[in-house]
Every structure is written in C-alpha cells, then in structure tokens.
A and B are shown apart, each in its own frame.
Chain A
Amino acid sequence: MALPKYTEMRYRVWHYSYLVICTAVFVFLIAPLFVIIPLSFNAEQYIHFSDGMLALQPEAFSLRWYEDMIYGTKNPWGIAARNSVYYAFFSTIGATVLGTVAALGLSSRYMPYKQLIMSVLISPMIIPLIISGSAIFFSLAKLGLAATFPGIVIAHIILGTPFVVITVTATLSGFDDSITRAASSLGSTPTNTFFKITLPLITPGIISGALFAFVTSFDEIVVILFVAGGDRNLTTIPLQMWTGLREQLSPTIMAVATCLIVLSTLILIVTELLRRRSERIRGISAQ
C-alpha cells in the first residue's frame, strides 16, 4: 500500500506504525509454530537452540527424534496414529452423511422450527467440551460403550456434525433454486435432480465440512480423555501428546508436532483449492 506523495507527516508516521503493528501480530500468530520445526531436528536431548544449531553446524542437527517416533519401543505413536486416522475416518463419514442430509432439510424454506432445530444441532460446538466430554462419557458408560472403538466414533460424530451442518447450510444459502426448478420442468425426477444438479454444486461445501469434521476428530483431546478411559490400545495422537506434555517436553513430541504442522499445511492447501473452486462455480451460477 503506497501512500500518495501529498500525505502529511503525522499520517505517514501513523501508516508505518500501523504496518509495524500488523507485522508484529502476524509474527505472533505464526512464529510459535516455526519454533518447533528446527527444535525437532535437534541432536541433543534438550528443548533449546544449542550453540551448534545457532552456528548452523550440520552435526548439531539429526533425525534421531523422528527415528525414535517411528521405531522407539516405548513410544506408542504408531498405534496412536492408526487410531487417530480410524476414528477420524469413520466419524467423518458419519458426520458428513448425517450433517449434509440435515443441512438439506434446514435450507428448505418450509422447514418447521428452523431456529430451534438449528440451535440444537449446533449445540455440541458451543457447549464447553468439558461438559460434552463428561455427559457423553456417562451416557456411553450406561450403554457399555465407554472405552470402545464405536463409543469414541459416536462421540466424534457428535462433535463433528455442527461443522458439516454450518458449512453445507452456508453453501446452500447461495444456491440458486431456479436451477433445480429448471431441471424438474425438463422432466427430471427429484432424485435425479439431486444427484445430477444439487450434489455436484454443493460438493465443495460438503468436502470442506467433511474436512472440518476430520480435523475436529483428529485433534480432539478433551472428550477422548473421558471416553478412552486410559486404555492404551485406544489412544490417539493428541492423547499421547497430552500424556507426554504433562510429564516432560521431549524432542520426540517436537517431531510429532512437526509432522502435524505439515499435515495442517496440506489441509490448508486443500481448503484453499476448494474455496477457489466454489468461488468459480458461484461466479458461473450467479451470472
């Protein structure tokens, strides 16, 4: 943002201090993440930048903590990663199907008690996780599902659906009804219209909702603390990190964290692509 030549001095000062403030905030947001990455390649056992690292000596860096993460006998990261992916996969399918279907109903002009139902469906996102966690635990325990695979998947479906409902409803709110009317006036059955017209148009919304549900389950820590009940075979990456962080900050955790940062970068790229695609589709449908 270049300033016009005639800008007064005080506004010039104000403008540059504004830019400095913005830079500082961006650094505050992103820098903590980047501190972790070099530390995970530390050759020493301590979590700090050694003199060798600061001097960029190659022997101060190593991959030993990544080896420890993968091959370390005491480290249950393998089981944790497998479980995390399983829970996230199944709960994403459940949350996406239930959430998308519900969003289709909620976007209808004829939906009765829309406000009330929407509030109920979104409540798992608003109510503090500590309350959700204990409530879900008590109800699963009553059904004998606490500390079981299906129990955890059910818990994660509950937490994931609000995100799917919100994103899909938002996509449908920009949806042009005349397209589906055109399809039916041309003799398409409602089912056919849905699969041939509506679904392809709202797919970006569904995928981004599914992504939210996936990340919600993959990162979820509070509810699983209650529901997994300390069973080592049911552990997840966040749960394992939580246990590790409570004992001691180890470089292995830094290695795991770095992997997770790489993963979130991938998710970010996917969401960005989705956003552009949906903007393009909207651009076409609006004109």
Chain B
Amino acid sequence: MTAEIRTSDGELLSVKLKKVERRRRTTAFLLAAPLLFFIVFAYVIPIFQMLGRSIDNAEMNSFLTETHEVMQTWDGSEMPGEDVTSTFYYELKTAVENKYHGKIATRLNYEKGGFTSLIKKTSRKLKNFDENDNFLDQFIDVHKKWGNIEYWQALKRGTDAYHFRKYLTTFDYEQKFDGSIERIPEKLRINVTLWLRTIFVAVGVTFCCFILAYPISHLLSVLPTRYSNLLMICVLLPFWTSLLVRTSSWMVLLQKQGVLNDTLVSLGFVADESRLELMYNMTGTFIAMTQILLPFMVLPLYSVMKTISPSLMRAATSMGATPFHAFRKIYFPLTYAGISAGSILVFVLAIGYYITPALVGGAKGILISNRIAYHMQQSLDWSLATAMATVLLIAVLVVYWLYNKIVGIDNMRLG
C-alpha cells in the first residue's frame, strides 16, 4: 500500500486532478456552447421541424376534426350516412364563416384532383341548404361529384393527422383508396427519373473530377514550389470565384450561338446550321458541374500527394518495378485518403446541386434539388417538397457518415 499523495493544501491528489479536469471540460464546453446552441436552435431544430411537415397534416385535421372522427366508423365501401354528411356540412359552414375553406380546398386537391372547384362551389351554395332535409342528396344536387364515393374516401384520408403518402409520391407510387400501393401512370412519372439522374450525375461528376484532378494534383505536388504556386492559381482562382460567375461563363461558352459553337463553326468542324446542342440538357450540366467542382477534388488530393516522398517511387523502380507497376503498387495506394476525401466532398456537393442545373440544364438537365425548389416555391406542395428533402438528406448523411468512418471529420482541410 502506497501512501495517499496529497497536494500542499491537504487535498487528495487524485481528487484534485479530477476537479481540475472537470473544470477544464466545463471551460471547453462553455467555449463551444454559444455556437452549439445557435446552430441547434437556428438550424438543426428548424430542419427537423421542416422535415416533420412531410408527414404532418394536423392543420387540416383541426379544420375538420369532427368529420374525421365520425368518418372513422364509416368503412368506405358505400356512400356515407347522414351522420358523416351532416357533420361535414356544419364544419364546412364554420370554415366558410371563418374563411379557411380555401385552404381545405387546396389540401384536399392534393388527395384528389377536382376538389378545389368542388369545395368552392359547395361553399357558395351552403346557405341554400335545408338543414332538416337529407344532406347527401343536397350535396349531390350542388355538384354531382359528391355522388362519387371516391371524393368521400379522399375526404376521410385527407383529414388524417399524419400520413406517409408523400414518401410514396417521392418514388412515383401512390396509395389507392382501397389501401393498395401502385405505381402512378407512366406519363406522370418524373421523380424516379430525377433521382436516378441525380445519382448518375453525382457519381459521373465525381468520377470525371477524379480522372481530371489526379494528374494535375500529381504535377502540382512534384513541381518546384515556384512553378506549382503559379499553377495553383488555376485551381484556386475558380475556387474563390462566385458560382454564378462560373455558371454564366459556361452559359456563354455552351450556348447555341456561344463561343464554343462559334469556334467550331469558324474552324469548319461543324456546319452553321447543325450547331451542337451543348446547353439545356445533361451535357451542359455535366461539363459545368465538373469544372465547378474540380477544385474540391484537387485540393485534398494535392495535400495528400504533397506528403508522399519521391524516394518511395525511386526505391520501387530501383528494385526492378516498371514505372507503371510502381505507381499501381506504391503511389496509388498512398493517395487513397485524398481520393476518398475529395470524392465524398464532390459527391455530397453534386447531389444537392441546384443553381447550375437550373441555369445550364434546362428541362432535360435538372436534378432533384430543382424539383424540391419547384414544389417549395411554385406548386407549394410543401409536404411533397419536404418528403423529397428528407430522402435527399438521409442520402447525404449516409455519405457523410461514411466520410467520417474513412477519413474522419477532424481531418477535413480547406485550402
């Protein structure tokens, strides 16, 4: 048994050390706390709240609470009884009085087309209803669509507080009123095409960036500093230049009357009337995104290659390896860290790209982000937009998690 060591003020050393450590932990945490709370409250929580919109239908549910409750006892196989129709009549009347029937119409229209006009017409005629007569007949008198059972089924489904149907729409599936899940008609399918195109572009751009970045990163790492610093400008100037400037320069180059086509025509490679379609399609998106994202691949590759000693390759060749063999067995494996860092960076950026596809891609070159923006800003189907955003976010987080596994977040370097 050793004697317990005490500090000069008589405290146990182990206790004192623990105290100091605790104090340091608290200090470190308190330093990070302001930013942490800011990001959590201003960013992380809003993201979860927004994603919640993809399944949330509480507002609609609150508009027609009683109708929804009464409808739970209705099995939907035949026209609803008077209990349902009368409750719906009174709640719709309240809605018209408080002027939120417009919202009901819009939301129900997502469930079944034709609801907008149906609710609007019915709302106008509500005052003519005889409250002692049969409500269903009166509804049908106002608009014959009320005689179609599907509208009542849509009403039942559309007033659920939560639903997951937007996730089906995200992948071009729909839930029929009998509960079966089917693909939507072929000419309406767009989302799966966009997902596949987004993945294709992200993978393709990452691969092209890798192919183009590898030789120049190598050159930059082996050249004497004087020259490599000069050439580095070619990588860093685009890196620091505004995304819109670079996108507009690609628009100038790729247009039908653009610089590239002009040059090809004046050199006689292409006839004036058969100018190449380089913009407003996938080609444009692909070329522009590759150039814009290339620096993100070069910088990590360069920083890794810079640390590889040239004597390793010399040793391999001196022992009889051909330059190609030495490259494959020695140099290339040593650059794995740079390749993975660069690839994941480019992939994550490419999968969420929005501006360049919107400007250069046209209708044929847009990606999933453009579709999310469309539903956010134009069709205003926020539940669908957020459902798609959730899927995109999960995809990105999976890649992010992989990045952390392979390289580690702490090792991320810029410039």
Q: A: which residues have CB within 8 A of B? A: 1, 11, 18-19, 21-22, 25-26, 28-30, 32-33, 35-36, 39, 46-49, 98-99, 101-102, 104-106, 108, 110-112, 115, 117-124, 126-132, 134-136, 138-139, 154, 157-158, 161, 163, 165-167, 169-170, 173, 208, 212, 215, 218-219, 221-222, 225-226, 237-238, 241-242, 245-246, 249, 253-254, 257, 260-261, 264-265, 267-268, 271-272, 275
By the criterion CB–CB under 8 Å, are A130 and B250 in contact? no
Question: Can you sample 9 A-B contacts with CB below 8 Å?
Answer: A29-B291, A102-B35, A117-B32, A131-B47, A132-B47, A226-B377, A249-B251, A257-B244, A264-B245
Interface contact B237-A265, CB-CB below 8 Å: yes
- Chain B residues within 8 Å of A32, by CB: 238, 246, 249-250, 253, 291
Contact A132 B413 (CB under 8 A): no
Interface 9-residue window, one of B22-30, B114-122, B135-143, B269-277: B22-30
Q: Chain B 378-415 against A: per-residue CB contact (8 Å), 1 yes, 0 no?
A: 00000001100100110010001000100001101111
Q: Which among A25, A130, A132, A169 has the greatest number of chain B C-beta atoms within 10 A? A: A130
Closest residue on chain B to residue A29 by CB atoms: B234
Is the CB of B40 closer than 8 A to any CB of chain A?
Answer: yes
**Contact segment of B85-93, B157-165, B211-219, B329-337:** B211-219
With contacts A32-B246, A221-B244, A226-B376 known, is A158 near B42, CB below 8 A? yes
8 closest A-B pairs by beta carbon, nearest first, are A128-B352, A105-B31, A139-B46, A105-B32, A108-B28, A102-B35, A110-B24, A32-B249
B216 in complex: contacting residue of A25, A134, A163, CB < 8 Å: A25
A120–B39 CB distance below 8 A: yes
Known A108-B24, A126-B348, A219-B242: A1·B39 in contact at CB below 8 Å: no
CA distance A200 to B399 in the complex (A): 37
Which residues in chain B, 138-180, are within 8 Å of chain A measured between CB atoms?
Answer: none
**CB pair A165 B35 closer than 8 Å:** yes
* A36 and B245 contact, CB distance less than 8 A: yes
Residue pair B248, A253 in contact (C-beta under 8 Å): yes
Cβ–Cβ contact B252 & A136, under 8 A? no
- Contact status A242-B244, CB under 8 Å: yes
Does B49 make an interface contact (CB < 8 A)?
A: yes
A225 contacts across to B, CB distance below 8 A: 373
Quick one: which of B215-247 are within 8 Å of A by CB?
Answer: 215-216, 219, 222-223, 229, 231, 233-238, 240-247
CB distance from A50 to the nearest CB of B (A): 10
Nearest CB on B from A15, distance (A): 10
Q: Is the CB of B231 within 8 A of A26?
A: yes
Q: Given A249-B248, A257-B248, are A127 and B219 neighbors across the interface (CB < 8 Å)?
A: no
Residue of B25, B244, B259 near A48 (CB, 8 A) is: B259
Is there an interface contact between A136 and B43, defined as CB atoms closer than 8 Å? yes
**Shortest Cβ distance from A169 into B: residue:** B410
Q: Which residues of chain A are within 8 angstroms of B50 by Cβ–Cβ distance?
A: 131, 134-135, 138-139
Q: Is the CB of B24 within 8 A of A33?
A: no
The distance from the CB of A83 to the nearest CB of chain B, in whole angstroms, is: 15
Do A131 and B42 touch (CB < 8 A)? no
Task: Give A173 to B409 CA distance when docked, in angstroms.
Answer: 14
Q: Are A134 and B376 interface neighbours, CB within 8 A?
A: yes
* Contact (A120, B31) CB under 8 Å given A22-B215, A158-B39: no
* B42 partner, pick from A139, A260, A272, beta carbons under 8 A: A139
Contact B32 A33 (CB under 8 A): no
Q: Closest residue of chain A to B46, judged by CB?
A: A139
Q: Report yes or no: B389 in contact with A29, Cβ–Cβ below 8 A.
A: no
Which residues from 339 to 397 on chain B have a C-beta closer than 8 Å to any C-beta of chain A? 348, 351-352, 354-355, 358-359, 369, 372-373, 376-377, 385-386, 389, 392-393, 396
Q: Which of A21, A104, A112 sits near B25, CB closer than 8 Å? A: A112
Contact check, B40 vs A257: say whether CB atoms are below 8 A apart.
Answer: no
**Nearest A residue (CB) for B38:** A98
Asked if A127 and B47 make an inter-chain contact with CB atoms under 8 angstroms apart, the answer reads yes
Q: Quick check: B413 and A170 within 8 Å, CB to CB?
A: yes
Query: Given the complex of chains A and B, what is the CA–CA distance between A122 and B355 in angstroms?
Result: 22
Q: Given A102, A110, A132, A241, which contacts B36 in the complex, CB threshold below 8 Å?
A: A102
Question: Known pairs A30-B234, A122-B412. 18 more at Cβ < 8 A?
Answer: A35-B249, A47-B258, A49-B262, A101-B32, A111-B28, A124-B39, A127-B393, A130-B352, A138-B50, A158-B42, A167-B414, A222-B355, A226-B377, A241-B242, A257-B245, A260-B245, A268-B240, A272-B229
B285 within 8 A of A: no
Contact between A245 and B244, CB atoms less than 8 A apart: yes
The answer to whether B72 has its CB under 8 Å from any CB of chain A is no
Are A111 and B25 in contact (CB-based, < 8 A)?
Answer: yes
